[in-house]
A and B are shown apart, each in its own frame.
Chain A
Amino acid sequence: MLTGVRLFATAALSALALATAVPVRAATPADTLVQAWAIDDMISLDPAEVYEISASEILGNAYQRLVTYDVKDVSKLSGQIAEGWTISADGKTLSFTIKPGQKFASGNPITAEDAVFSLTRAVKLDKTPAFILDQFGLTKDNVDQMIVQTGPMSLDFHMDKPYAPTFVLYCLTSTVGMIVDKKEVMSHEANGDFGYGWLKTHYAGSGPFKISQWKPNEAVVLERNPNYGGPAPSMARVIYRHVPEPATQRLLLQQGDIDIARNLSSDDIKALKTNPDIKLESGVKGTIYYMGLNQKNQYLAKPEVREAMKYLVDYATIADTIMGGLVKVHQTFEPEGFLGAYDKNPYALDIQKAKDLLKQAGLPDGFKVTMDTRNTPDITGQAQAIQQTMAQAGIQVELIPGDGKQTLTKYRARNHDIYIGVWGPDYQDPNSNAQGFASNPDNADTSQVKTLAWRNDWDIPDLTKQTDAALLEADPAKRAAMYQDLQQKALDTSPFIIMFQQVEVFGIRKNVDGVIIGPSFNDNGFYDVTKH
């Protein structure tokens, strides 16, 4: 008997001792920056394919583009790999010259040949982001005539129309405009794939860091690029570790196991404000939270109903409580930080006004409607809060939850009543959102162009023309005014209830300085980071 007890106790104790005797090491190495972030959206490292938030940021630290902008003031455009550019008299050609003496991480020199190769390669590979370049009249077949090398360090970029230069340049700052090392990439080419199979998981750029390792859903490691033309970063390594849970990220941050937590929840942010070891830094991002009201629904098609519903969202309370710190109220479709952004937020919760409007619409007792809700905590929380305020005016909203792919499939088929979700601009130019929210060239069910306006059956020939016209306006100030006019019209009549703009918050250990949080995800930079 005794033996049994003793054995049992020994086993239990040794298990416990094993667990407790181990010292837990905190603090990360001095030359390494460690971040926890949900990076499970990453599917590729090839600039011609990358379209995901996490991969965009990583490429932003590892590649360079022809042109860039000041992250503090996006209207200041400047050359990055390019020294400068000129615009032809007819407005249909941009000529770039490349800065001399620059090198890729591999040691190969950066020339106009690389730039032409990178841009034509993206068009020919025709991956998801290729449309950003295709907008200028580029196709697989004509791209070799449209983007041409004119000298060892110069190239011409031809377009089918005299697009606004700001539009072209902003598009070239996106990840699809990143310059890859032609020699390196083509040495890994297989079956005419332009090295795509290799670059998907490898690196051939010239940014401050090089991507040395990517373990999907686990970690990404960046290492200092010794051949970088600018000032050398003080961090030798930047490590992204995939941690999906906000609460876990916070624990890791508090324990000093990581330097930066990237997906903190509003309540984590509130709690960390008082923590002496941690500081919070934030920046507005282009992502917008909105609802789309399908005009195929008989109730939602009434203009008074659309307006009434804009008064039935408690914008301020949601922004202060369940989304606290992670969004700011923003009701126009161009996000802050974009050319033509329009800072007007006329709507607030007003039950009485909404009831009056519903009466005018002939629906004094309200109506029933469904809302397709993606099952992430932020969207679900917002939807439930909105459900409560809508009910106060008699509008009974039934939530239909689903995962992202399901709700999107339904949305794209125009089978929803209300869709609540997020929209992020594709590139740092106002046209991206204007085209989504205020353009619908063909409202037929068979249309190939499924803009957000199309998805909500909002037939707007006049606004579509205005959106197209703004694209060709060469003067930046006039162009900005055109977008502001569009936004005012959308604010008044559109079936979009635009609610918030995302604020990205970093929880950072006190000893870390120099993190740059830019307006777009590929602007978040870590090359200036120091630790003390």
Chain B
Amino acid sequence: MTTADIEPEGRHGALPPWLLRLGRLLLSLVFTLFGLLLVTFVIGRVVPIDPVLASVGDRASASAYHAVYLKLGLDKPVWEQFLIYVNQVLHGNLGESVLTSRPVLDDIRDVFPATLELSTVAILLGTLVGIPAGVWAAVRQGRLSDQIVRILGLVGYSAPIFWLGLLGLLLFYAKLGWVSGPGRIDIAYEFDVTRVTGLMLVDCALEGQWPAFWNAVSHIMLPASLLGYYSMAYISRMTRSFMLQELGQEYIITARVKGVSEARIVWVHALRNAAVPLVTVVALSYGGLLQGAVLTETVFAWPGLGMYLTNSLGSADMNAVLGATLVIGAAFVTLNLLSDVLYTFLDPRVRRRG
């Protein structure tokens, strides 16, 4: 994602280089977001579905049909429709969902916390397991444990997540009863918890509703572990390669000569240096989770952005589909940008170079 890397370095001596870099990143963000809009608009125009029909249903009268036709602006030329679209999006108007008859943005605001919660727990699990596993594999490079971590990672890359989810539900919920089923919380608790942040775990904790909290935990464990497994595969692999690089550096040899304990060398000296690129990796896989969430949420009836997207797809609710796509795209771009910025600020080498 670092386009700026290869571009000619700044000649504008007056400004600090990191500021220039930041400015360039922001500019590219704006440009990319505009491109996103163009893509979603184009997609929205080529649908072979009568958008009016999708909105009013099969049996509407001709006058009801025509009213919606005008309301959707379908009588205007295409470029005008695009300008209207951009203008609307800039004003936070993503159109109205046919399915819920509410503004798409309101819908997304409602469902987004569920996705955020799921992917945050997943990334936590993925990081907590993935980094130690990667360090371990690097230290024992070439040996059996390295191979095991590697194969487990590749297995994570290879299994269709919706399939693992189905089998997981069957095993851990239906047969063993270890975890709770689909959804975010049991219906019995659902109406006890008032929505403050939209994050179920946080809301339960804020109100001190501990039984509900633990129930929500037992709901999120399975989908989050599955999603986390995917990011674990990526994080452990990257950790391994960063650690291998660090462990081959001279300062490590120096430390060894000085008699520093091996554990300290690995966990303090080497890992601290590998941490900088790792932050980027974690941020990137956080973005990648948004994608995994689409399928996971469908399997686990998790009322987040992914399920909103597939629901809308099923009923050809294009405003909602494109709105959700846009939001996911924007979140993805922003996370990428964030990882770039973090990299700039955390790594003294990059900072100096500008």
Chains A, B in direct contact (C-beta < 8 Å): yes
A126 in contact with B61 (CB, 8 Å): yes
A-B contact pairs, 11 of them (CB 8 A): A12-B129, A15-B125, A18-B221, A22-B217, A40-B315, A43-B99, A130-B64, A239-B191, A242-B301, A258-B187, A405-B316
Give B130's nearest chain A residue, CB to CB: A11
Interface string of A101-141 (1 = CB under 8 A from B): 00000000000000000000000001110110010000000
Interface size class of chain B, counting residues whose CB lies under 8 Å from the partner chain: 35 or more
Once bound together, how far apart are the Cα atoms of A200 and B133, in whole Å? Answer: 53
List chain A residues, Cβ under 8 A from B99.
40, 43, 216-217
Residues of chain A within 8 A (CB-CB) of B102 are 201, 216
Nearest CB of chain A from residue B97's CB, rounded to whole Å: 8
CA distance A42 to B163 in the complex (A): 29
Interface members, chain B 53-83 (any A CB < 8 Å) = 53-54, 56-64, 67
Min CB gap B243→A, angstroms: 11
A residues 170-226 in Cβ contact with B at 8 Å: 200-201, 213, 215-219, 221
In the complex, residue of chain A having the shortest beta-carbon distance to the beta carbon of B129: A11
Further pairs besides A40-B314, A126-B67: 18, Cβ < 8 Å = A8-B129, A12-B129, A15-B128, A25-B186, A29-B188, A40-B311, A44-B101, A127-B60, A128-B60, A131-B59, A218-B303, A239-B187, A255-B177, A257-B186, A404-B316, A408-B58, A412-B58, A448-B62
Which A residues lie at the B interface, using CB under 8 A?
Answer: 1-5, 7-8, 11-12, 15, 18-20, 22-25, 28-29, 34, 40-41, 43-44, 51, 126-128, 130-131, 134, 200-201, 213, 215-219, 221, 239, 241-245, 248, 251-252, 254-255, 257-258, 403-406, 408-409, 412, 426, 448
Smallest beta-carbon distance A456→chain B, Å: 15
B274 at the interface (CB under 8 A from A): no
A404 x B191 contact (CB < 8 A): no
- Chain A residues contacting B107 (CB-CB under 8 Å) are 216
**Which residues of B (203-234) have their CB < 8 Å from a CB of A?**
211, 214-215, 217-218, 221-222, 225
Chain A CB within 8 A of B199 CB: no
Q: Contact flags (1/0) for B79-113 with A, using CB distance below 8 Å?
A: 00000000000000000001111100001001000
Q: Cβ of A24 and Cβ of B136 under 8 Å apart?
A: no
How far is it, in angstroms, between the C-alpha of A258 and the C-alpha of B182 when the chains are bound? Answer: 12
How far does the alpha carbon of A313 sit from the alpha carbon of B177 in the complex, in Å? 43
Cα–Cα distance between A221 and B58 once the two chains are bound (Å)? 28
**Residues of B contacting A408 with CB < 8 Å?**
53, 58
Q: Give bound CA distance, A520 to B152, whole Å.
A: 54
Interchain CB contact (< 8 A) of A134 among B57, B61, B67, B178: B61
| B63–A244 CB distance below 8 A | no
List the B side residues contacting A19 at CB < 8 Å: 172, 178-179, 218, 221-222, 225
**Per-residue A-contact encoding for B111-147, CB less than 8 Å = 1, 0 else:** 0000000000000010011001101100110000000
